[in-house]
C-alpha cells in the first residue's frame, strides 16, 4: 500500500526545461523522480501542482509523492535531497491526506516577476531578475494604473501564448501589485490559475507602460480585444518564480486562501 506525502519543492529553473518530465531534457519532475527511485525503485512519478516554463523558478511547487513504505517526514526530505542536485531542493515534507491531489485541489497561486532597474545588471541577481535597460526610470504609477483592469474574472486571450492548450481562457486574478526594493521591483500576481505565459506577457506589457511605450489606460482595450498581438512582449522566463500555492482548507496543507475557495 503506498504512503502519500506532500512536498514543498524549490528550484532554480535556469538549467531546467520546465517542471514537467521530458523524454531527454532535464526537468524538475524528472529530477525528483530519479532521486526517489534511487531508494524506492517502484515508486510512481511525483505529481506537481502545475507546470512552469523552461527557465522559470519555483519556491513553492507543491508535489504529491507516493512511497512504498512509511517515512518520518524529515528523513524522507533528507533522503531525497541527498540524491538531488544543488539547484533543486525539497523544502518541506508532511503526510498527505487520502484523496488529495495538488493540481486538482489548488485554489490560488502567487507568481512574482522580478525586475532589476539598476544602471547595470546586478551579477548576483542576474539569474533571477530581468534587467530592464532604461535611460529614464520606469513610470511605476502608470504601471499601477495599468494593472487595475486586469484584476477580476476575464477572458485573457490577449495574454495567452498561442501554444496554450487550456480549455478556456477565462481566469480570475485576485490581486496584482508592485513591491519595491532599492534598485528592484517585484510584480506580484495572485489568482486562481494562469494560462501559458500569461504572467510573463502581463509583465512584459506592464514594462512597456512603464517605459512610456504604451498608455496606462490602454490595458482594458487590450483585454477586450482578445487578441495576443494587442498585448506586449513576453518577458524572459528568468524573472518569474512560482512563490506560493494555496489549497482547499479541508486538506490541512498550508495557510488558508485569503480569497476563500472556488465552488
Do residue 186 and residue 171 come from a single domain? yes
How many folded domains does the chain comprise?
2
pLDDT at 262: 65
Do residue 141 and residue 234 come from a single domain? yes
Max Cα distance, the chain (Å):
62
Q: What is the pTM of this model?
A: 0.95
Do residue 89 and residue 120 come from a single domain? no
Structural domain includes residue 262:
no
pLDDT at 260: 84
Structural domain includes residue 25:
yes
pLDDT at 183: 80
Do residue 119 and residue 238 come from a single domain? yes
Range of 7's domain?
3-100
Structural domain includes residue 255:
no
- Which residue in 12, 40, 53, 116 is the catalytic one? 53
Query: Is 53 an active-site residue?
Result: yes
Structural domain includes residue 84:
yes
pLDDT per 10-residue tile (average), the chain, 263 residues: 93 96 94 97 94 94 96 97 98 96 95 93 93 86 97 97 93 97 92 96 97 96 97 97 95 91 62
Amino acid at each position: 500500500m503506498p504512503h502519500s506525502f506532500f512536498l514543498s519543492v524549490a528550484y532554480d529553473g535556469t538549467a531546467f526545461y520546465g517542471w514537467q518530465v521530458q523524454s531527454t531534457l532535464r526537468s524538475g519532475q524528472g529530477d525528483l523522480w530519479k532521486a526517489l527511485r534511487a531508494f524506492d525503485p517502484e515508486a510512481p512519478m511525483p505529481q506537481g501542482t502545475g507546470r512552469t516554463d523552461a527557465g522559470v523558478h519555483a519556491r513553492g511547487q507543491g508535489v504529491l509523492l507516493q512511497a512504498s513504505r512509511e517515512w518520518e517526514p524529515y528523513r524522507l526530505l533528507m533522503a531525497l535531497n541527498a540524491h538531488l542536485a544543488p539547484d533543486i531542493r525539497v523544502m518541506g515534507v508532511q503526510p498527505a491526506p487520502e484523496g488529495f491531489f495538488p493540481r486538482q485541489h489548488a485554489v490560488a497561486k502567487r507568481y512574482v516577476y522580478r525586475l532589476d532597474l539598476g544602471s547595470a545588471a546586478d551579477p548576483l541577481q542576474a539569474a533571477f531578475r530581468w534587467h530592464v535597460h532604461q535611460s529614464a526610470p520606469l513610470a511605476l504609477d502608470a504601471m499601477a494604473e495599468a494593472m487595475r483592469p486586469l484584476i477580476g474574472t476575464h477572458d485573457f486571450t490577449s495574454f495567452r501564448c498561442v501554444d496554450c492548450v487550456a480549455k478556456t481562457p477565462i481566469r480570475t486574478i485576485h490581486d496584482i501589485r508592485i513591491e519595491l526594493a532599492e534598485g528592484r521591483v517585484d510584480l506580484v500576481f495572485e489568482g486562481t490559475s494562469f494560462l501559458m505565459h500569461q504572467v510573463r506577457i502581463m509583465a512584459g506589457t506592464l514594462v512597456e507602460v512603464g517605459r512610456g511605450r504604451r498608455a496606462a489606460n490602454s490595458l482594458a482595450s487590450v483585454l477586450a480585444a482578445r487578441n495576443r498581438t494587442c498585448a506586449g512582449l513576453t518577458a524572459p522566463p528568468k524573472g518569474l518564480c512560482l512563490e506560493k500555492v494555496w489549497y482547499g482548507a479541508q486538506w490541512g496543507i498550508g495557510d488558508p486562501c485569503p480569497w476563500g475557495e472556488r465552488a
